Structure formats: C-alpha cells, structure tokens
Amino acid sequence: MTYCVAMRLDEGIVFLSDSRTNAGVDHVSTFRKMTVFERPGDRTMVVMTAGNLAISQAVRQWLQERSTEDGLTVWTARTMFDAVRVVGDAVRAVHERDADQLKKFGVDFNCAFIFGGQIKGEPPRLFQIYAAGNFIEATPENPYFQIGEAKYGKPIIDRIINPSTPLDEAAKCALISMDSTLRSNISVGLPLDLLVYEANALRVTRFVQIDNDNHYFQMIHNTWGKRLQQVFGEIPDPTWGETGSRFAHPDYRLGQKHADGHADREPQHQPPRAPLPAALAEEAAVLAEERIQTVAAGGLPRQAQ
C-alpha cells in the first residue's frame, strides 16, 4: 500500500508520497510513487500513484510514451484540464488491455492517482483520478486530496489546512500527516518524496527525498509525539461527581453520581441493558425480598455477612 497527499493552496501546491510497496510481510519493496513532468518556463506537473503497482506503472509508462487518439499528451495539453483527461484516458487504456486478464486471476483493477501542477497561462490546479479514469478537482472548500492509507493522516489536515495556509506550514502539516500514518500502518514507509511547487514558478524549486537520516523529519517525529502526550495530559479527565479529578469543574462533568454512589437514573445516563432472563429476574426478586426482610429485622443483608 502507500500514502500520498497533495494540497492546493493560494501560494502553490504541496506533494508528498511514500515509497513502500508490499504484497505480504515477505514481499516489502521500495518504489517511488511520484513522477514529475517538467518543461521549465512552460509547465510543471506531478503525478502520484497508489494501488496495484503493476497497474500504476503501466499508466505512468503510457503517459510517457503514448498519446490519446487525437494526439494529445501531457506535454502538449494546453490546459491542466486537458492534461488530466490524458491521464484518465491512460487509465482507461490500461484497464481495457489488462482488466479482464487480472480478473481471471482474482485481481481487482485497483489504482488511484493525484495529478496537479501548472501550465503557463492558468493557475495551479489539482485533481484526483479514480480507477475508472474519471476525476475531480480540488476546490477552496476541499483543497487537498489523499490516496492510499488516508485515514491516519486526515485529522491533522482537516484541522490545519485551508487555501491561505503558507506553503511551508502546509509542508510541515503534510509531514506530520505522513508521520502519523507511518506510526500506525506498516504498509507505508520511508523514503518520502516531498515537492513544494510555488505558483507561477513553472519549474521545480523545492524538492527533497526524506530518509531515516533527515534531521527535520526526525524532529517532526519526536516533537509531535511528545506534544500530543503533553496536550493529552492537560485535557481534564472526565468527572463523575463534584470531585474525582484534579481538574474537577462543574462545566466539565461527564456524568453525575447520587449520594448513594449509584449512577443517575435519567434515561440519558443509563446504559442499553439486555433484558434479564425470566428465571434470573425471579431469583433477583426473591433476593431483594429477603434483603428487605433481613434489614427490617435488624440484621445485615446476606451478601454483607
């Protein structure tokens, strides 16, 4: 599996991809998922891939060597919309050639792509392409895309990223998102490819491949974990009464207890209990009756003796 994320911002686009591919615990390999199509001064485009490695490599090779039926390529497309159509057509071409044969071997046609960049004369644009060759474009309301193992790194992006986020902050956020994914999923791994495209540069100006020896990423990894623990420790514990927490505050009560120690009897404070079987209910009623009689006689309940 893999994890790739891209963010389209007012200042440009941030691209980040890992490089791990695995087909079981005994078949873990490194394949870079990012490819750059660059003609300085005219266009810079980036494609990142996830899913079946053979499919994604075939699509990438198709983009490098072939054109659509009308002769269009990513190198000759006049707009990013035309260019992403070329990517979608390449996905469909590979599907037409390989999907039936893969199905015979029980293999799904599984692939996903992020494609973005800028062609001279229009602003930077970002797209996500699906296995059917169709695609969607990033918007100010949804300025980022993820493919692969997206769930672990999504919360930090949702809380931080908006179109006005500076590129360097967005790159930091992407790396934290990746670190969270690396921490929780062994199918994502180093090295990473990070490309930060500055709007209207029309060439690559910031790129780094990140491995275990990268000091900044190690700082991200260590600092983020420690700060999460610090913030977690500063959040008040749940309070079930007037006391019970070092941060006890009436506005932060999670639940209440009555003076006898029993939980609230209001419906919203009761768990969804399974009905007691009839035989056990009768036994409980008998025990309750015995307890009442014992207390009335001045003795102790049976379970307290």
Mean pLDDT in residue range 18-41: 84
pLDDT of residue 264: 53
Reply yes or no on whether the pLDDT at 96 is more than 80: yes
CA-based Rg of the chain, rounded to a whole angstrom? 29
Question: Could you report the per-residue pLDDT of 33-51, keeping only the tens digit for each?
Answer: 999 999 999 999 999 999 9
Query: Three-state SS for 96?
Result: helix
Q: Which amino acid is at 199?
A: A
Instruction: For residue range 177-191, list pLDDT tens digits in order.
Output: 999 999 999 889 999
| For residue 302, pLDDT beyond 70 | no
Position with higher pLDDT, 293 vs 191 = 191
The mean pLDDT value for 226-255 works out to 73
* Mean model confidence pLDDT for the chain: 88
Query: What is the rounded CA–CA span in Å between residue 100 and residue 89?
Result: 18
Handedness of CA 280, 262, 239, 266 (dihedral sign): positive
- For residue 301, CA distances in Å to 173, 284, 294 come to 61, 14, 6
Q: How far apart are the first and last CA of the chain?
A: 61
Residue-level pLDDT at 177: 97
Element holding 12 (H helix, E strand): strand 12-17
User: In sequence order, what are the residues at sequence separation of 6 or more whose Cβ sits closer than 8 angstroms to the Cβ of residue 247?
Assistant: 236, 237, 239
Distance CA(121)–CA(303), nearest Å, equals 84
Q: What is the pLDDT of residue 119?
A: 98
Paired strand residues for 15: 6, 195
Contact by Cβ (8 Å): 197, 10: no
Q: Which one is predicted more confidently, 24 or 231?
A: 231
pTM confidence score: 0.85
Between 25 and 4, the higher pLDDT residue: 4
Residue type for position 119: I
pLDDT of residue 248: 52
What pLDDT does residue 290 have?
Answer: 77
Q: Report angle CA 206, 118, 131 to the nearest 5 degrees.
A: 100
Convert the pLDDT of each residue in 124-162 to its tens digit.
999 999 999 999 999 999 999 999 999 999 999 999 999
Residue 266: pLDDT above 70? no
Segment 289-301 shows an average pLDDT of 69
**Cβ count within 10 A of residue 145:** 24
Confidence grade of residue 223 (pLDDT, cut at 50, 70, 90): very high
| Cis amide prior to 123 (ω within 30 degrees) | no
Counting residues of the chain whose pLDDT is more than 90, the rounded percentage is 70
Q: Which helix (H) or strand (E) holds 222?
A: helix 215-234
State the sign of the Cα–Cα–Cα–Cα dihedral 74, 77, 80, 81.
negative
Give the length of the chain.
305
pLDDT over threshold 80, residue 260: no
Kindly list the strands in the beta sheet with 12-17, ordered across the sheet, starting from the edge strand earlier in the chain.
Answer: 144-148, 3-9, 12-17, 192-198, 206-210
Check pLDDT > 90 for residue 280: no
Predicted confidence band at 21 (pLDDT cuts at 50, 70, 90)?
Answer: confident
Domains identified in the chain and CATH numbers: 3-229 (3.60.20.10), 236-285 (no CATH)
The mean pLDDT value for 65-69 works out to: 80
